[in-house]
Structure formats: structure tokens, C-alpha cells
């Protein structure tokens, strides 16, 4: 299957995603899977610039195998992909005198500064899971002015189109996992819940940037009514 690129530019939605054609209505109780930011720059396996502890080849293989198994069982699989321009606001290198993990204020919002990562077109921006499994890949963080942890919207409020994609495929429940628990997984899961989906996060298929923020993220997700499970029963 060849991917078809679609861009939302109307009704306040700005985003780019790739839909694998043809789309097929599958069973599995209208449950979708969102694989969050499984990209080289976030893994120790690929010596990523923003590698999260525990994301070695064994972890990536576990995610790949689980995703393939879910697809075989008829679940619709979706993905998010960090896809930053080189001049992105979140890169410490773009702020004179600042270093990675500094926290600054920009236009009355808090911005964590990161190492340069997932730059558009670079090898470590690629998704490590078989792209043929995906019904759609939603790219985020394309606007240089705003960070975008969530697969649903960026920090400026621009929508990615994920809600429309899921609803068009009649998805009611979503399973979320990937990198990182305390940032993009949490933001994606919370926005999915806010959009009216029933959300399950698979803790065993996630890793976080730091233990304290990861523990806090799990508490925040549970407080939103998001179900946290260690593993999936396949």
C-alpha cells in the first residue's frame, strides 16, 4: 500500500498525516491503537539525541511484536510522529545561552528545552514500527512556534486531525503506548479522553523521561478516568 498525504487547512485544523490506502473497516470492537512517537531519536537502541532510559532494542521489539499482533487481531493501528523543522522553538540550540532541559517562558507558557531531535527527513525521525500496519500516521510539532506533545493538538491549540481520523473509522476506545510516558503518551491519552474516547494506557509498553514525572503522569491519567494496565492480554 502506498501512503497518501492529506493536509487539513480548514475549520481551524492544521496538520499533516498519512493515510494508508485502501482503508478497511476491521472488527475488534471499534478499538483503535495509538503508537506514540516510536522514533529512533527517543531510543537508546538508535543512540537517539533524546533517548529515554529503557528503550533498547528489546523494548522496541516488544512494541513492534505487540503492534503486529493487535493488527492481526483486527485492531486499527494509528501512530504519532514528532516531525520538527530545524528551527523549532523546543530546541535548546535555538536559544542563545540555553542548554537542554532548561525551562523558559515563551508568550506566557512554559517551554522545556530539548536536544535537537526528530528533525524532518532525518534517519532518527523515522518510526521504528512497520509503517504498513498503520491506518494513519499523524505528524506533530511541524509548526516551529509550538511544541506538540499530544497527537491531537499542539501547544498553540492547532488540531492535528487525529480526532476526525478516529471518528471516521468508528473508533470508540483507544489503547495508547509508546514514548514517553510523562510527555507525549500522557498528553495524547488525556486529549483522547477529553475528545470522548475510552482510553487504556499500557504501562509496560511505555517508558518515561524521569521516574518522578512518570509517576505523576500515571496519577494524572488515572484521575482523568484513563485505565492503566501493565500489559495487554493477547
Based on the residue annotation, tell me whether 140 is a catalytic residue of this protein.
yes
What are the cell numbers at 93?
540550540
Active-site annotation holds for 182: no
37 noted as active-site residue: yes
Cα dist from 131 to 93, 134, 135, 160, 232, whole Å: 31, 6, 9, 19, 21
Among 46, 140, 159, 186, which one carries the catalytic annotation?
140
End-to-end CA distance of the chain: 26
**Marked catalytic residue, from 143, 184, 191, 206:** 184
The single residue of 37, 41, 143, 147 carrying the catalytic annotation is 37
By DSSP bridging, strand 109-112 and strand 31-36 are unpaired
Q: Which residues are catalytic?
A: 37, 140, 184
Amino acid at each position: 500500500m502506498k501512503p497518501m498525504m492529506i493536509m487539513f487547512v480548514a475549520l481551524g485544523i492544521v496538520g499533516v498525516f498519512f493515510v494508508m490506502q485502501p482503508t478497511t473497516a476491521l472488527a475488534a470492537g471499534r478499538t483503535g491503537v495509538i503508537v506514540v512517537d516510536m522514533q529512533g531519536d527517543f531510543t537508546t537502541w538508535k543512540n537517539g539525541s533524546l533517548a529515554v532510559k529503557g528503550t533498547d532494542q528489546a523494548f522496541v521489539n516488544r512494541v513492534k511484536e505487540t503492534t503486529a499482533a493487535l493488527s492481526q487481531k483486527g485492531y486499527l493501528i494509528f501512530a504519532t510522529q514528532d516531525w520538527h523543522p530545524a528551527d523549532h522553538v523546543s530546541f535548546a540550540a535555538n536559544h542563545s545561552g540555553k542548554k537542554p532541559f532548561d525551562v523558559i517562558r515563551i508568550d506566557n507558557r512554559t517551554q522545556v528545552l530539548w536536544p535537537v531531535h526528530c528533525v524532518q527527513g532525518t534517519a532518527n525521525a523515522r518510526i521504528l514500527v512497520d509503517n504498513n500496519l498503520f491506518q494513519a500516521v499523524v505528524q506533530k510539532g511541524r509548526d516551529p512556534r509550538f511544541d506538540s506533545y499530544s497527537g491531537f493538538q499542539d501547544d498553540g491549540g492547532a488540531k492535528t486531525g487525529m480526532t476526525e481520523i478516529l471518528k471516521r473509522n468508528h473508533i470508540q476506545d483507544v489503547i495508547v503506548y509508546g514514548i514517553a510516558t510523562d510527555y507525549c503518551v500522557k498528553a495524547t491519552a488525556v486529549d483522547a479522553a477529553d475528545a470522548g474516547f475510552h482510553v487504556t494506557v499500557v504501562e509496560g509498553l511505555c517508558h518515561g523521561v524521569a521516574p518522578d514525572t512518570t509517576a505523576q503522569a500515571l496519577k494524572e491519567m488515572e484521575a482523568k478516568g484513563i485505565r492503566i494496565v501493565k500489559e495487554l492480554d493477547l
